[in-house]
Amino acid sequence: MKQSYFPDVGIWLKGNIHSHSTVSDGMFTPAELSELYRSHGYDFLSITDHNILDSHSDLQTNGLILLTGVEHDIAYGPDKCTHIVGLSPAGKKETSYICKQYSAEEITEQQLADYMLADGQFVNLAHPLWSCMEFAEIERLNGLHSIEVFNNGMEHLCHGGNSEIFWEMLLRHGKRIFATAVDDVHVSGDLFGGWVCVKVANRSQEDILAALVDGAFYASSGPTIYDFGIDRGSVYISCSPCRAIHFVSYPSKGKSFFSESDLPLVSSSHTLEGREAYVRAVCVDDKGYSAWTNPIFFDNRQ
């Protein structure tokens, strides 16, 4: 029986959940940033200025849904840090904890994540490669909803934006965590390179946040994913034209498929062995841009 990973009914909405304005260290005002994303076909945006939570409710009238967000950072030195992005529930205008920049002497990474989780936020680990985090540091963090598998701003800054290997290792170590792609926009070159697409019943802040928490989304820097799921022992996917589709699983090693004779791939499937703990898919277009599904987890498999 065919079973899609995504909800059977609903609409797809595209958004960026990590961005910065002139309120902190971005070059665009909140109004400019909102208009840029609205005019480029985005459905939602979160302006996550550093250590400042702001709903930007005055910008909710231009057709773009604004999600209240913040990026907290803990600095350990000139090169090493931990940044965590949080998206707050609709209507929330302040945090239940002190919203500020914390020092490493004041708080641990886990304590910060716990504060954000207790506040009801969707909690997303930002750019761990750029932050010079070690895998052991990432693995010991509990409760995170997601990790940035791709950060467009950090990729442009210093090739520090692709953290898929960290995500894969977390999954192999038993962490149930989703993947996001973001712009982390500070300057114009960061715009429109990483986003998430959620499938929701309604165009609302509440439905978007619920879809993020449930994992009913995919991350992308280019391709579009239309469907992903299981059909009679095989994993399948349909997508926009791509040069490669990779099914990634563990402990079995999955399978890769490539386009032939200049005919792009728009779908593929792979028969599972029956011992996978999870399976996910990565679609790569002819420009090298990728889209990542969240994993399908198999509770009854070892």
Which of the following CATH numbers is that of domain 10-220: 3.30.1330.10, 3.40.640.10, 3.40.50.10860, 3.20.20.140?
3.20.20.140
Note if the pTM is more than 0.85: yes
Q: State the virtual CA torsion across 175, 178, 180, 184 in degrees, nearest 10.
A: -50
pLDDT value, residue 35: 96
pLDDT in tens, the chain (302 residues): 899 999 999 999 999 999 999 999 999 999 999 999 999 999 999 999 999 999 998 898 778 999 999 999 998 988 999 999 999 998 898 999 999 999 999 999 999 999 999 999 999 999 999 999 999 999 999 999 999 999 999 999 999 999 999 999 999 999 999 999 999 999 999 999 999 999 999 999 999 999 999 999 999 999 999 999 999 999 999 999 999 999 999 999 999 999 997 899 999 999 999 999 999 999 999 999 999 999 999 984 44
pLDDT at 61: 74
Greatest alpha-carbon pair distance for the chain in Å reads 59
Q: Which long-range contacts (CB under 8 A, 24 or more apart) does 239-244 make?
A: 239/265, 239/266, 239/267, 239/283, 239/291, 240/266, 240/283, 240/285, 241/265, 241/266, 241/285, 241/286, 242/266, 242/283, 242/284, 242/285, 242/286, 243/284, 243/285, 243/286, 244/283, 244/284
Taking the domains of the chain in order of start, what are their residue ranges?
10-220, 225-297
User: Are the beta carbons of 280 and 292 closer than 8 angstroms?
Assistant: yes
- Unique residue bearing structure tokens 């304005």: 21
DSSP state of 253: -
Amino acid letter at 7? P
CATH number of 225-297, picked from 3.30.70, 3.40.50, 2.60.40, 3.80.10: 2.60.40
What is the pLDDT, as a whole number, of residue 63?
87
pLDDT at 302 (0 to 100): 40
- With b meaning 16 or more CB within 10 Å and e meaning fewer, what string describes 194-203? bbbbbbbeee
Q: How far is CA 66 from CA 54, 78, 205, 208, 274, in A?
A: 10, 32, 8, 10, 42
